[in-house]
């Protein structure tokens, strides 16, 4: 991609409460981990209003993140993780993209907002990452 090339720094896997597990994520993780969806929620999730979010480890990182190894569920990671940096905020707001560039070294600092939006929308659609259920899915995927 012109606009994004992940540098695997792990910064986006740190911090509390951001990773929403929507219905598709739960089904995918359950298959990947060979657990029931209820077991996935019990072991790795926590309720947050009407949504389920991933727990954090004691180190402040996502429960699936390990330093040196990265994401333990990479091939089955939640849609919100697969969608970064093409979140609604960065797609609708130039300033938000500017701030994201300072946080994430994977975003091409020279990419224009217009090119970022064009490439991001194509990526989200091609990978079926857009969502529409604000009660259970991540708001950042609802455009």
Residues at the interface with ligand SF4 (CB under 6 A): 6-13, 19, 54, 62, 64-65, 71, 73, 77-78, 81, 84, 104-106
From CA 62, how far away is CA 119, in angstroms rounded?
27
Query: Minimum distance between the CB of residue 112 and ligand SF4, rounded to whole angstroms?
Result: 19
Comparing CA positions, the residue from 102, 116, 87 lying closest to residue 2 is 116
Minimum CB separation of residue 64 from ligand SF4 in Å reads 4
Least Å distance, CB 84 to ligand SF4, is 5
Radius of gyration from C-alpha coordinates of the chain = 15
The gap from C-alpha 26 to its chain's centroid, in whole angstroms, comes to 14
Phi, psi (rounded to 5 degrees) for 46: -150, 145
């Amino acid at each position: 991609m012109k606009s994004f090339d992940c540098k695997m720094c792990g910064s986006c896997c740190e911090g509390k409460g951001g990773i929403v597990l929507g219905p598709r994520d739960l089904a995918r993780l359950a298959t990947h981990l060979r657990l029931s969806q209820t077991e996935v929620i019990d072991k790795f999730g926590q309720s947050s209003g009407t949504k389920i979010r991933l727990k954090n480890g004691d180190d402040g990182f996502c429960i699936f993140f390990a330093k040196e190894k990265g994401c333990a569920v990479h091939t089955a990671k939640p849609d919100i993780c697969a969608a970064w940096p093409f979140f609604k905020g960065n797609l609708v707001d130039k300033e938000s993209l500017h701030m994201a560039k300072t946080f994430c070294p994977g975003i091409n600092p020279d990419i224009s907002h217009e090119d970022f939006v064009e490439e991001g929308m194509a990526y989200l659609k091609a990978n079926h990452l857009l969502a529409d259920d604000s009660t259970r899915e991540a708001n950042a995927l609802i455009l």
